[in-house]
Structure 1
Amino acid sequence: MAYSIGVDYGTGSGRVVLLDLDEAAEVAVAVIPYQHGVIDTIFPATGEKLPPDWALQHPMDYLDVLRRGIPAVLAETGVHPADVIGIGIDFTSCTVLPVTQTGEPLCMMAEWAEHPHAWPKLWKHHAAQPIADRMNQLARERDEDFLTRYGGRISSEWYFPKLIEVFEADPDVYQACDAFVEATDWIVWYLTGNLRRNSCTAGYKALWSEDGGMPAEDFFQAVNPGFTRPLDKLGDVFYPLGTRAGQLREHVAEQLGLHAHVAVAVGNVDAMVAVPSVGVSRPGSLVMVMGTSICHLTVSHEEVRLPGITGVVKGGALPGLYAYEAGQAAVGDMFEWFVKTWVPERYLDEATRRHASIYEVLEEEAARLSPGQNGLVAFDWWNGNRSILGDADVSGMIFGLTLATSTADVYRALLESTAYGTRRIIDNFAEHGIVIDELVACGGLPQKSPLLMQIYADICGLPVVVRDSKEIPARGAAMFGAVAAGAKVGGFDSITSASDVLAAPIQRTYQPNAAAREAYDRLYQIYRELHEYLGEKNVHLLHRLKQVRVRSLNDAFVNQLV
């Protein structure tokens, strides 16, 4: 028997999967919530309020996932540690932290603990937006070729906006850190003692490409004249997906209850690792990794530079193919916001009475509505727009509200808004020669919400394939762990061969309903007109609203300090 472990680091928790490589079965799963969670209001080291758009995490939460989760899956199954041959890691990205040359996070050192910039910046830390704006303006003015790989826009979520934010806001932290590393690479470093920066995050988040390298140093100097050595904290060697980073260090293996011979794969991104896990190996499929946000991934044989994506990277998901990423920044987060802030008490009482979740109660009511019956069109911009606008300063909207609008009406509109956003992304791909013929959905939402999946099929007019696994990213990470172990010891010689055997089976396929599609086509035309009007032609209106809110929050923040 041979097993591999996949560790999937999400926004609020980590998941550990033990994958039986002989049976292609997930034999155990451990979910470890982060003790500190998302740090976006109160800074734990001082008790002070954080400024707007901050999102930090605690590295001890990451280690806790390993130290609790791996022994838990071994204990649950009774699998002998000697039978575990590989470990793979995936992580939200771009989640980055400053560390010393030995890999110690600055925030865990007494002299730096009270510096917010010494802490890991979570992917949805958007406080670097002004820096991203400067970078975008300069790249357009200089006609920088690299910008076209990212749909024409750099995101505040990415590596260099966050690093330059540290450089400008807390130079002492910048000087003290020897490396500013993706959290996925840091975990691999912790496990093996080897810093092996992966090519996936470098390509999608740090402006690097296999063919073109990095942007010229004078570009970064134009962003900030003092920022003269952009690779100092990033490094310049990046390892392809599936590469073996090393094996477990002796003391780490002992902590985790494993043997030191376990191979560890280079790190990966939680979205990209899902592609082989759902069995996608060809152009035409759009993988939707659905959780707090959505990442959309598709592949092609040739590179196409198109607007409205967040990146195209050769080998970014599968060897030899160009992988394209797009996405929506608020999905599960938006549904959770609605439940916490808008749902009347009677829904909560009903859920309690039936021993059901509040989402099940809402879904039942929303499912009774026919397409268009709520008379609403909503935009899922509650956390900005990732694709196709690439604009963190737009905000969510609901159109058509009346005194007759019900809770179920609004909930269904929010579900539909995410499908409209996906259809807009599909249209953008098609307009540039990348045709999508099926959607492959994975993550927690597809398992929990049949209504949402049918809405996607009806709005997009495409079949939606749902794979039978709640832990697709962790499963994919385990597959890469098996590849790192190598075929000679019971693993696989490539991620393609691993996918052929280990991809999760199909659970259900949702087909479009013709009548629903016709109704949604009419609504989608309204959506497209509003999208253009408020997201492009008159986007300054939403930007001004954001400016008013941020100014007010900053004033309140300053008053609190005084």
Structure 2
Amino acid sequence: MAGLSARDHQGRVAARRRRHGRTHGAGAGRLRQGGTVMNMHPRATGPLVVGLDCGTGGARAIVSDLAGHVRGTATSNYPTTHPRPGWTEQNPADWWEAACAAVREAVARAGAAPDDILAISADGTSSTLVALDEAGQPLGPAILWMDTRASAQARRMSQCGDPALARCRAGVSAEWMIPRILWIKENQPELFARTRWFVEMADYIAYRLSGRLTLGLNQASNRWFHGGLAGGWPTGFFERIGLAGITERFPSDVLALGAPIGPVAADVAETMGLGRRTLVVCGGTDAYVAMVGLDVCRPGRTAFITGSSHLVLSVTDQPGEVPGLFGPHPDCVVPGLYVLEGGQVSSGSIIKWWHDHFGTALCHGEDPYTAMIARAAGIPIGAEGLVALDFWQGNRNPYTDYDLRGAIWGLTLKHSPDHILRALIESVAYGTENILRTLSANDIAVSSLTACGGTVRSRFLLQMHADVSGVPINVPQVSEASAFGSAIVAAVGGGAFRDLPEGAGAMVREDFVIEPDREAGARYASIFEDYRATHVALAPLMHAKVRERAVPA
């Protein structure tokens, strides 16, 4: 496809920076809207970048200048289906329609001319699998990240003992790409035979933007067993598990996060309101791209991504494994560095469950979320003797045991629904602390967390996490870290910055810090030990119950 080279784009950026200055708009008035800093400009001029976050519920676009001032945002949702228990699917056509709508509206809200848009980059949900035919058309619904149909394949992979499993000693997750591809081969052989390309959600969006099919090193490294810049595909492992020759169905161009892909396709530029020379830049997995949006791009920094699930992502320059965690994934964000990953499958989703089933009924005439959290905050630490486990959808880390289940004990007639909610919220904080303790036990010090997502909207929740873990929590001005991270990735790919650390350092600004309360932390510490002891005591019962239910009647 004809267009500017990366060097041409860099020259174009330099010329624009000379005209406008890197801190363009820095002195303008600002207001806070939905946790995002918005500049009050009647019209934004370039150079501007677009970050596109394709999440579980919809697409969100952010238009930003190179100083990190957000000029326009927009969101467009898409549906999710559950055709069978444990299955979760989405339609790639719905993604694209929502992506076009979100970008078009965000650019319009920014008052940006098409030629002002330097570059665009997209992130997507992790391990959301798309099967494409020879012409690049989806062969059916995409398998969403939370789909668990490939559990049996993941268990078999975990038991094969191949060296490729070094970064997941605790077990292969059923959420990952390779188990899903193997599931398709074993359960839908006709679909497998028709598939020419397997890609992730972010790769598909980049393909639709540019017309060039690529695979992001970011997701390939952390979810596809790729060895990073110095490694490659573990073909022996693939042969061992029954996927010999599978790499022929992966795009041959594996690009690093922030690498230029090419100019936006002409019809796409017109649809989205972009320029014909707007550059498409390689993105990646939403949570890992959020690390860029949080300026977690250097060793010793740790991102805390909160939402339906929670992630703790630590950057290190050491290749050593940490039993119970995933990684270290090489080169998946910054070349030459590694990321260690710990996650909670169900965290914010537990609070949502409580809201959906009890919160509305218990909080008459009030905003249910605000009211129920306020009521839980009024209950003493420890919920007067209640202990809960946050394993409602199993445990991702540090146990990697999807047969674990949620639990709560210690109930008496003294306890109210507010006590139960308090215990559930505390269990989420203890799950995060369990991951941080695993890092600490392996000489990976976490001196602070930089947070984004739903938890940052509640000082109570942030304070509890800070108190339980004993570390300060930093919150940046732009809370939509995935979309904003994609905007920074676009700026780096467009040549505005030398690399991701420089781009994040220039565009991300801190909003506030939550300091831990040491006295509260000491009270939480004893309950955390009860939390871990509860897991030890109940895990055998939970495993037995799962086996019992798995036996056909």
TM-score between the two structures when normalised by the length of structure 1: 0.87
Partners of 1:103 and 1:190 within 8 A in 2: no
1:464 aligned residue: 473
Matches of 2:133 and 2:155, distance apart in 1: 29
Q: 1:233 to 1:400 in 2, by over 3 A?
A: farther
2:64 to 10, 14, 19: 19
2:233 aligned residue: 214
- RMSD of equivalent CA atoms: 1.7
2:76 aligned residue: 32
1:515 aligned residue: 519
Match of 1:252, SS state, is helix
Q: Return the letter of the residue paired with 2:183.
A: E
2:403 aligned residue: 393
Question: Structure 1 residue 75 and structure 2 residue 108: aligned?
Answer: yes
1:47 aligned residue: none
Of stretches 425-434 and 233-242 in structure 1, the one that deviates more from structure 2 is 233-242
1:531 aligned residue: 535
Matches of 1:531 and 1:436, distance apart in 2: 24
Question: Structure 1 residue 305 and structure 2 residue 321: aligned?
Answer: yes
Match of 2:350, SS state, is helix
Partners of 1:301 and 1:321 within 8 A in 2: yes
Partners of 1:288 and 1:442 within 8 A in 2: yes
1:129 aligned residue: 151
Q: Offset of 1:469 from its aligned partner?
A: 1.8
1:316-395 maps to which residues of 2 (within 5 A)? 316-343=332-359, 345-347=361-363, 349-351=364-366, 356=367, 358-395=368-405
Question: Structure 1 residue 444 and structure 2 residue 454: aligned?
Answer: yes
Match of 2:421, SS state, is helix
Question: Structure 1 residue 199 and structure 2 residue 217: aligned?
Answer: yes
1:231-250 maps to which residues of 2 (within 5 A)? 231-250=247-266
Partners of 1:132 and 1:161 within 8 A in 2: yes
Matches of 1:468 and 1:105, distance apart in 2: 38
Q: Offset of 1:282 from its aligned partner?
A: 3.1
Matches of 2:494 and 2:113, distance apart in 1: 17
Matches of 2:479 and 2:135, distance apart in 1: 36
Matches of 2:547 and 2:181, distance apart in 1: 23
1:48-59 maps to which residues of 2 (within 5 A)? 50=84, 52-59=85-92
Matches of 2:264 and 2:191, distance apart in 1: 30
2:28 aligned residue: none
1:484 aligned residue: 493
Q: 1:399 to 1:468 in 2, by over 3 A?
A: farther
- Per-residue CA shift, 1:390-413, capped at 9, x if unaligned? 122221112222333222212222
Q: 1:280 to 1:267 in 2, by over 3 A?
A: closer
Q: Return the letter of the residue paired with 1:493.
A: R
Partners of 1:129 and 1:392 within 8 A in 2: no
Q: Return the letter of the residue paired with 2:142.
A: P
Matches of 2:345 and 2:77, distance apart in 1: 21
Q: Offset of 1:551 from its aligned partner?
A: 5.9
Q: Offset of 1:153 from its aligned partner?
A: 1.5
Partners of 2:472 and 2:513 within 8 A in 1: yes
1:270 aligned residue: 286
- Per-residue CA shift, 1:29-68, capped at 9, x if unaligned? 112121x2x212xx4xxxxxx2x21111111221122221
Q: Percent identity?
A: 30
Match of 2:339, SS state, is strand
Matches of 2:315 and 2:309, distance apart in 1: 20
Q: Return the letter of the residue paired with 1:2.
A: P
Q: Offset of 1:297 from its aligned partner?
A: 0.7
- Per-residue CA shift, 1:102-139, capped at 9, x if unaligned? 221012xxxxxxxxxxx201111111101100111112
Match of 1:445, SS state, is helix
Unaligned runs of 5+ in 2: 1-45
Question: Structure 1 residue 473 and structure 2 residue 482: aligned?
Answer: yes
Partners of 1:273 and 1:317 within 8 A in 2: yes
Matches of 2:292 and 2:104, distance apart in 1: 26
Q: Return the letter of the residue paired with 2:515.
A: Q
Q: Offset of 1:548 from its aligned partner?
A: 4.5
Matches of 1:190 and 1:66, distance apart in 2: 10
1:116 aligned residue: none
- Per-residue CA shift, 1:516-549, capped at 9, x if unaligned? 11110110111122233334xx2xx323333445
Q: Offset of 1:267 from its aligned partner?
A: 2.2
Question: Structure 1 residue 430 and structure 2 residue 445: aligned?
Answer: no
Q: Return the letter of the residue paired with 1:88.
A: S
2:197 to 179, 183, 192: 179
Question: Structure 1 residue 169 and structure 2 residue 187: aligned?
Answer: yes
Unaligned runs of 5+ in 1: 44-49, 108-118, 556-562
1:150 aligned residue: 168
2:13 aligned residue: none
1:286 aligned residue: 302
Q: Offset of 1:236 from its aligned partner?
A: 5.0
Partners of 2:452 and 2:475 within 8 A in 1: yes
2:142 aligned residue: 120
Partners of 1:30 and 1:73 within 8 A in 2: yes
Matches of 2:248 and 2:406, distance apart in 1: 38
Matches of 1:550 and 1:290, distance apart in 2: 32
Matches of 1:550 and 1:15, distance apart in 2: 40
Q: 1:216 to 1:106 in 2, by over 3 A?
A: closer
Matches of 2:304 and 2:123, distance apart in 1: 16
Q: Offset of 1:423 from its aligned partner?
A: 0.8
